A = this chain, B = another copy of it.
Amino acid sequence: MDVLSDKNYIPQVAIDCVIFGYENRQLKVLLSKLAFKGNFYALHSGFIKQEEDLDEAAKRILEDRTGFQDIYLEQFKVFGRADNKRKQFLDALIQSNYSEDRKFLTETNNSNAYAWFTKRFISIGYYALVDMKRVSPKLTQFDVSIDWCPIQEVPELIMHYDEVFQEALAALRTDIDHKFNAFNLLPEKFTMKEVQQIYETIFEKEFTRSNFQKKILDMDVLERLEKRLTGAKNKAPYLYRLK
């Protein structure tokens, strides 16, 4: 990583990535337990290089922090309160007398790391929705562990990350209803029931079969194919694929 300075990175701007994972009818979010003494849980953030486009930066940060490559990220909101929870968090961390934490801020190759980190930041939120079977997160120097946490069991997060997580979840639900962005969780051919299970998991509620089918077909994004071959021919469901 380059030295944190105004020359290398845009100051006072961060990117926060919220990575949702889906598997077996469960929606989870990827959390980092930070490499400090204490239980500090965070999302995955980073900074924008001076010569880097914003969307490139988001992809690079996601890869730097999780090892994930070629994941579609959706920009969803900018967070810009002036209250500077980042400085509050860092000051509390330093004062709590953990020598290894002080080291982090004072012995980096940039003596101005504290000044750089504790300015007020604007953060640009991106989220992704991935198939948990297809990815495996990698640890970095910043993490004790990096784990998928069911969205119903998210612990208190540091800084402003609780708000970022909640807004990302709201954005995921709004977007899925008009952009059909669940497609990257589906195989090439799929049944309506498979689509419904993903929606029910993301919205944490059940839909009636006929209403759900009508709503999805009205979106006009699916092409109906042959029936799935099963033993009982008259009960075989139709297969669909994306237009």
Contacts and interface: CB of A to CB of B under 8 A. Distances in A.
A6 B52 CA distance: 21
Given A12-B13, A13-B12, A124 B178 contact: no
A77 B75 contact: yes
A194 interface: no
A57 B82 CA distance: 11
Interface residues of A, number: 26
B122 A80 contact: no
SS of A interface (majority): mixed
A21 interface: no
Contacts of A52: 82
Nearest to A81: B53
Given A12-B13, A122-B10, A122-B54, A80 B48 contact: yes
A219 to B, nearest CB: 12
Interface string A1-26: 00000100011110000000000000
Contacts of A55: 80
Contacts of A80: 48, 53-55, 57, 124
Nearest to A50: B120
Assembly stoichiometry (copies) = 2
Contacts of A120: 10, 50
A80 B50 CA distance: 11
Interface in A20-48: 48
A28 to B, nearest CB: 26
Nearest to A178: B178
A153 interface: no
Interface in A61-99: 75, 77-82
A51 interface: yes
Contacts of A53: 80-82
A113 to B, nearest CB: 18
21 contacts: A6-B11, A10-B12, A10-B120, A11-B12, A12-B12, A12-B13, A48-B80, A50-B120, A53-B81, A54-B79, A54-B80, A54-B81, A57-B80, A75-B77, A75-B78, A78-B78, A80-B124, A122-B124, A174-B178, A177-B178, A178-B178
Given A10-B120, A13-B122, A174-B178, 8 more contacts: A11-B12, A12-B13, A50-B82, A53-B80, A54-B79, A55-B80, A75-B78, A80-B124
